[in-house]
Chain A
Amino acid sequence: MSLWEAPLGGYGMQLLLGLRLTLQVSLCSYTVGLVFGLLGAAAKLSHRRSLRLGAGLYTTLVRALPELLLVLLAFYIGAGLAERLAVFAGLAPQGFSLNPFVVAVVALGFIQGAYITEVLRAAVLAIPRGQHDAARALNLPPLTYLGRIVAPQALTHALGGLGNIWLNATKDASLISVLGIFSDVLKVSSLAAAATKHYVIFYAVAGAAFLIITLISMALLEWLRRRLMPLHVT
């Protein structure tokens, strides 16, 4: 079958499915990252020294290690540990095995969480001290203060950094192709390229797929930035 008889030599459908998987991994890992990031930032900003140090250890270690290595660690060591822990704690039956998708998403989310922690922390610190004083003077309940005063302002400061981390997340999702068990868009491209010897075309297609994700993301981020502008933050 020649290259042009079916979309991309019959690989068209597989590539689209691979793209879908890549997007799913990106979105889920980013969400997990936000959770880790919020927890981490809260810990780093807390009064308790132990929390600050713990979070500091988290961000320092994760940011010092290559992402690919962290993914491998998660799959070959981390997953096993988590499984045995779950069985030990009675949360899962013997022989329990984590879904690889979950492992990938948590691993990537764990990595992104470290960077999101730093971004959120910087964003909160960028809020002028006077805001806190004004809130106390007005006797605002802490939750209101956090939800209506801190969060919106921090969000505006953090948007750029969070956007960048999202762009990285979509690219880091390609790392799962190395594990061999996922049919993400890069893995499918690699297989197709090796089978047909049309290396340039298939890798270019993979690149184009990621580029499109990037461009759409950038457009959405710009739209988001414009919508938040009227929030007027110092």
Chain B
Amino acid sequence: MSISWPFLWHGVLPQLLAAVPMTLTLTLLSALGSALFGVPLALALGSAARWRRWPAQGYSLLMRGTPMLVQIYLIYYGLGSLIPREWMRHSWASPVLRDAFWYGLTALTLNETAYVAVILKVGLDAVDRGQHEAAQALGLSRMITLTRILLPQALAVVFPMLANEFILLLKSTVLVSTITIFDVLGTANTIRFETLRVDEPLLGAAAVYLVLVGLVTLMGLPIERRLRRYR
């Protein structure tokens, strides 16, 4: 293994760092999306009504029981093949339909929603029954009860699990490099193909991801401390 440090420093790292925003964008947007959709899914998973619970459990099983790669290919190639050519080329939605980014983001969000929902359900189940009753007795609406009373407490309970999940999501974003999205790994692979150098791009990518994960982990610690204030 012969690493050319100048090449790593000047030829590889700048490009990799330029791709970090892409990785972070994918991570943050899918995190937000999965948080948004994860709440109704978590509620459905815990619902007493079978017609709500079963589809939710089915979705959860599908997303968590199949590899992420398969889901990405299914959405990118599969969905892509179903969309009529006309829409792809000449419609107002063309920029979205032709850009691999949105397919990748969709796949990441759909998948992550299932995992987040399971965690949120654990959190919601952990909230004391008395809180539900107090909210009911006060006449608080279901929406207010959920958003102002139950979710804050649920989040405080499962925050470490969500923080861990965020890191797993960050790592999963590399899989969209297989559908021509230029995140950090995608860029590293491109450098590999173009320069035929293997060591620097891959080790450079490894270093970048290490730093990213390290930073995210450190950022989670003060939040965890602050949440303990209420307990």
CA distance A174 to B69 in the complex (A): 7
Q: Which of A170-210 contact B (CB under 8 A)?
A: 171-172, 174-175, 177-178, 186, 190, 193, 197, 199-200, 203-204, 206-207, 210
- Inter-chain contacts of B1 with A (CB < 8 A): 77, 80-81
| Given A77-B198, A174-B67, A210-B66, residue A204 in contact with residue B74 (CB < 8 A) | yes
| Given A171-B68, A174-B69, A210-B67, residue A69 in contact with residue B185 (CB < 8 A) | yes
- Tell me if A76 and B198 are in contact (CB < 8 A): yes
| Given A68-B174, A69-B202, A80-B1, residue A211 in contact with residue B65 (CB < 8 A) | yes
| Given A64-B209, A64-B214, A197-B81, residue A207 in contact with residue B74 (CB < 8 A) | yes
Q: Could you tell me how many residues of chain B have their Cβ less than 8 Å away from some Cβ of chain A?
A: 38
Q: Which of A204-228 contact B (CB under 8 A)?
A: 204, 206-207, 210-211, 214-215
- Inter-chain contacts of B199 with A (CB < 8 A): 76-77
Counted as pairs of residues, one from A and one from B, with CB atoms less than 8 Å apart, the total is: 102
CB distance from B209 to the nearest CB of A (A): 6
Q: Does A66 contact B (CB under 8 A)?
A: yes
CB distance from B48 to the nearest CB of A (A): 24
Chain A at the B interface: SS class: helix
CB nearest neighbor in B for A213: B65
- Inter-chain contacts of A167 with B (CB < 8 A): 65
CB nearest neighbor in A for B167: A64
Which residues of A are in contact with B by a Cβ distance under 8 Å? 61, 64-69, 72-73, 76-77, 80-81, 167, 171-172, 174-175, 177-178, 186, 190, 193, 197, 199-200, 203-204, 206-207, 210-211, 214-215
Which residues of B are in contact with A by a Cβ distance under 8 Å? 1, 61-62, 65-71, 73-74, 77-78, 80-82, 167, 171-175, 177-178, 185, 189, 192, 198-199, 202-203, 205-206, 209-210, 213-214
Given contacts A65-B210, A207-B71, 5 further A-B contacts (CB under 8 A): A65-B171, A65-B206, A66-B174, A186-B67, A206-B70
